[in-house]
């Protein structure tokens, strides 16, 4: 019998509790050796804790080493810092991993998209170091270090080798930011020399955006600094149907948090019509991370089977199915 692992469940805000309940239903139907421990985070728990990221939630993830997380809201232009960013910093989740793959029978402008965005998660502009120099002038500091750049480059190349990928593309703007992005590229080059079996290339960020729109199938693994990776992740999700079908993971040395990359969708929260695919596919990534590969393939294949039939779709993809009806179809396909 496999050892039972505890997974910390963070419902999040908006549609988070709904898509999480759907995903947990599928995991329970798989009968995987997991126990679920529920903890809080997000804007909807601030009144209870005085913060959007309670200390006990962070401690729970440190204990379990694994979390499955729904979307959490962040106030734009004010309020508390992002719970997502806070969790990544406090757990040193240095790598954001977002596989982007065409979904069966979901019509988009492209077919056969299968690429991976590896985003450095701890520094760059997201270090949050900004201040007012004089009224009307704000300075924001972009932090790039050799340690973080080398670590994310190694993660990207090791991921490529482990998963049979053939090419790693480093994303940059070193023609303008010669020191910061230059350091990032230097680290990628040094790591790349240790992986002669993996093709390595460098593409300027604005050119990459154009190339992705022209032909996303020419890319395999993209490795990028924090800000570039954030933008590219959403761009790439749009190539295959949107954030509702793209999974994500934030991975560190000791812990890993698997989450849907979409927002809280407050306009449809509580209506029972949210698409749980992104969180379900994030759970597939979690199962693989826990070396429960057989269960991961069963869950993934069931999702693809439902999409392949085209009979059960949520409203975001042109269907009429509720969250529960879609989840029932996934469980039936197991």
- pLDDT tens for residues 78-120? 567 788 888 888 999 999 999 999 998 888 999 999 999 999 9
Mean pLDDT, rounded, of the chain: 93
Q: Is the pLDDT of residue 279 over 90?
A: yes
Q: Is the pLDDT of residue 1 over 60?
A: no
The residue annotated as part of the active site, out of 206, 215, 271, 320, is 206
Q: Please state, in angstroms and as integers, the Cα–Cα distance from residue 156 to each residue in 21, 27, 196, following that order.
A: 32, 28, 14
Radius of gyration of the chain (CA): 20
**pLDDT given at position 250:** 96
**pLDDT given at position 157:** 98
Q: Is the pLDDT of residue 207 over 80?
A: yes
**pLDDT given at position 119:** 97
| Closest C-alpha to 225, from 157, 81, 126, 128 | 126
The residue annotated as part of the active site, out of 13, 40, 220, 230, is 230
Q: Is the pLDDT of residue 127 over 80?
A: no
230 catalytic residue (yes or no): yes
Q: Is the pLDDT of residue 67 over 80?
A: yes
**pLDDT given at position 76:** 64
Q: Please state, in angstroms and as integers, the Cα–Cα distance from residue 176 to each residue in 6, 152, 173, 184, following that order.
A: 47, 22, 6, 13
Quick one: pLDDT band at residue 232, thresholds 50, 70, 90?
Answer: very high
Mean per-residue pLDDT for 256-265? 91
- Alpha-carbon span 63 to 255, nearest angstrom: 9
Mean per-residue pLDDT for 225-236? 94
User: Which pLDDT tens digit goes with each residue over 9-21?
Assistant: 999 999 999 999 9
Q: Is the pLDDT of residue 194 over 90?
A: yes
The residue annotated as part of the active site, out of 94, 126, 159, 307, is 126
**pLDDT given at position 266:** 92
Beta bridge partners of 251: 95, 256
Q: Is the pLDDT of residue 2 over 70?
A: no
Segment (H or E) for 95: strand 95-101
**pLDDT given at position 128:** 76
The residue annotated as part of the active site, out of 173, 186, 288, 305, is 173
Quick one: pLDDT band at residue 132, thresholds 50, 70, 90?
Answer: very high
Mean per-residue pLDDT for 261-274? 92
**pLDDT given at position 226:** 94
């Amino acid at each position: 019998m496999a050892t039972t692992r505890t997974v910390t469940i963070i419902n999040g805000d908006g549609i988070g509790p709904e898509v999480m309940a759907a995903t947990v239903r599928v995991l329970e139907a798989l009968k995987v050796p997991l126990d679920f421990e529920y903890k809080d985070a997000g804007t909807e728990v601030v009144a209870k804790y005085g913060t959007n990221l309670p200390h006990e939630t962070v401690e729970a993830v440190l204990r379990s080493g694994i979390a499955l997380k729904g979307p959490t809201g962040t106030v734009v232009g004010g309020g508390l810092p992002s719970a997502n960013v806070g969790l990544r910093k406090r757990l040193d989740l240095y790598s954001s991993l977002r596989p982007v793959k065409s979904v069966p029978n979901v019509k988009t402008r492209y077919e056969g998209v299968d690429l991976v965005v590896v985003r450095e998660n701890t520094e760059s502009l997201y270090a949050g170091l900004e201040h007012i120099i004089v009224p009307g002038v704000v300075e924001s500091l972009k932090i790039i270090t050799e340690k973080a750049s080398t670590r994310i480059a190694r993660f990207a190349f090791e991921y490529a080798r482990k998963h049979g990928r053939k090419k790693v593309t480093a994303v940059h703007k070193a023609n303008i930011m010669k020191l910061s992005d230059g350091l990032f590229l230097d680290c990628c080059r040094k790591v790349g020399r240790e992986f002669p079996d993996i093709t390595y290339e460098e593409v300027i960020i604005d050119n990459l955006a154009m190339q992705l729109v022209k032909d996303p199938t020419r890319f395999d693994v993209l490795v990028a600094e924090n800000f570039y990776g954030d933008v590219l992740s959403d761009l790439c999700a749009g190539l295959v149907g949107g954030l509702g079908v793209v999974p994500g993971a934030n991975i560190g040395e000791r812990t890993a948090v698997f989450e849907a990359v979409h927002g809280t969708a407050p306009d449809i929260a509580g209506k029972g019509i949210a698409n749980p695919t992104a969180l379900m596919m994030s759970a597939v990534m979690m199962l693989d991370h826990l070396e429960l590969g057989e269960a991961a393939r069963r869950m993934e294949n069931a999702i693809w089977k439902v999409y392949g039939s085209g009979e059960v779709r949520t409203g975001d993809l042109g269907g009429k199915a509720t969250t529960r009806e879609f989840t029932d179809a996934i469980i039936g396909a197991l």
